[in-house]
Amino acid sequence: MAPARLLDNQKARGCAGVVGELLTGREGASNYQPGGESWSCAFAPDESRFAWSCGFRKVVILPWNSYKNCFQSSGLDQHHGHQLFCERVSLDAGFPVTALAFGTGTPESDLVPREYWTRFDHTKDLILATGHTNGRIRIWDPYTGKLLLELTDHMKPVTSLAFAPDGSLRLVSGSKDSTIKVWDLYDDGNMFKTLRLHPGCVRSVCWSPDARFLCSTGDKQKVILWDMEQYCLHRRLCGHYNTVLAACFSPDGAMLATASCDTRVIVWNTSTGEQLRVLCHVSPPPGVIYMSGENNSAVRGVCFSSNGCQIVTICADGLVRFWNLDQNSDEPESEGRSLAGDTMLCCCYSPAGGCVAVGHASGSVLFFQPPFLVPSLLHLSRMSVRRALGDVTNHPDILLPHSLKPYLQYKQW
């Protein structure tokens, strides 16, 4: 078998440009200070705020609407820079931060996208949750930095946090103690359910857009879908050969992307559990026996764009890759690089899809501009149908042409 080699920039059609940065001045993977990593960063659902975990217990909350407008400017005048500096909130979280999540009492479907003649009052019910190495979860007011609640039930570090997108203020936390806990922030943070099926560390949790399902990933190749109405197992997804580090649902909930240490991202059909696409980060893909061991191309993060046609991934080889699912190609559409000598740890799309934030081991964050793409009207119609009716291909009361079903199931683009 030929030796595996990393996909290089020459195979991609473009280079993803950096449009903004938040730098700590610390070094990255080669000689960094433990505890200074940016394990998580998050956008508020309405894009009014951006939370940045910059290491050593510090979290910075920026007025994102102001900050993103600076991307295209050649420089900031002193007055504008002073205003932006004054609007930001810096808080000492008290313990090293391993996870971040924004929550709101307004359903996300009512926030992004918004009609031009409506305006969301972003001062209502927006909160920030931080997960910590000692298993605690803290809830903050993102406008004042005031500590509101402290949730204590995990026995080991919290690895991932996610609020339900339906405005119910249900918070889900995954931990190295192999449990997933569900908290009700409307009920003063009451922990009302513990989900136990992971044999090892829970690496990530994410909600489906309609809040009906939760995906959790972890050690032992685990990808589990939970029914969040009955709080029970819905489906196991089998196909990875190593630890699964991250997951993300498509905007209409029809697809689920999972990223693994086996160098691959698998895109699944959420309804059937069928594998739709496999995005390989090593060419040719390593054999199964090699996927189970250490490698320098573990995929650490994955996220869908708001249009549902693009996926961004970050990899241990130092590349951030943008994949265009509409092209049915096995190669990324464009690529960008991490900070020199640094390691990428997390990534997330802004809710409107204008940029991608990538956190590094040095605590710094780079903002990449994704490739420009105009989705087809047919694809937008498909997303609308899936959002409104779910998987109509198996609905007994809806008659569909046989040739249309593969398209609605994302088997065709």
What average pLDDT does this structure show over 144-155?
A: 93
Q: Is residue 299 predicted with pLDDT exceeding 70?
A: yes
In the structure, what pLDDT confidence band is assigned to residue 35 with cuts at 50, 70 and 90? confident
| Bridge partners (DSSP) listed for residue 311 | 304, 323
What average pLDDT does this structure show over 52-78?
A: 74
Of 50, 142, 159, 163, residue with least CA distance to 98: 159
Strand order in the sheet with 147-152: 97-103, 127-132, 136-140, 147-152
Of 209, 215, 184, 206, residue with least CA distance to 105: 184
Q: How far apart are CA 212 and CA 3, in angstroms?
A: 43
In the structure, what pLDDT confidence band is assigned to residue 361 with cuts at 50, 70 and 90? very high
Q: Are 155 and 136 in contact (CB under 8 A)?
A: no
Mean residue pLDDT of the chain comes to 86
pLDDT at residue 31 in the model: 58
Instruction: Give exposure, 143-168, as e/b (b: 16+ Cβ within 10 Å).
Output: bebeeeeebeebeebbbbbbbbbbbb
Q: How far apart are CA 54 and CA 94, in angstroms?
A: 13
- The least confident of 184-188, 202-206, 298-302, 393-397 is 393-397
Of 268, 245, 244, residue with least CA distance to 256: 268
Instruction: Give exposure, 214-237, as e/b (b: 16+ Cβ within 10 Å).
Output: bbbbbbebbbbbbebeeeeebbeb
Q: Is residue 205 predicted with pLDDT exceeding 90?
A: yes
| CB neighbours of residue 373 within 10 Å | 16
Residue 141 neighbours by CB under 8 Å, 6+ apart: 127, 128, 148
In the structure, what pLDDT confidence band is assigned to residue 213 with cuts at 50, 70 and 90? very high
Running DSSP on this structure, what letter comes out for residue 33? P
Q: Is residue 339 predicted with pLDDT exceeding 60?
A: yes
Q: What H or E segment, with its residue span, contains residue 195?
A: strand 190-195
What average pLDDT does this structure show over 313-325?
A: 95
Q: Who wins on pLDDT, 203 or 13?
A: 203
Work out the burial of residue 271: count CB atoms within 10 Å of its CB; fewer than 13 is exposed, 13-18 middle, 19 or more buried: middle
Q: Which amino acid is at 6?
A: L
Of 46, 51, 27, 49, residue with least CA distance to 37: 27
Q: How far apart are CA 215 and CA 395, in angstroms?
A: 23
What average pLDDT does this structure show over 58-75?
A: 74
SS3 382: helix
69-127 residue pLDDT tens: 665 444 434 444 445 555 789 999 999 999 999 998 878 766 655 444 344 344 457 99
What average pLDDT does this structure show over 368-378?
A: 92
Could you please report the per-residue DSSP string of 89-148?
EEEE-SS-EEEEEEE-SS-GGGTSS--TT----TTSS-EEEEEETTSEEEEE-TTT--EE
| Bridge partners (DSSP) listed for residue 56 | none
What average pLDDT does this structure show over 250-269?
A: 96
Q: Is residue 308 predicted with pLDDT exceeding 90?
A: yes
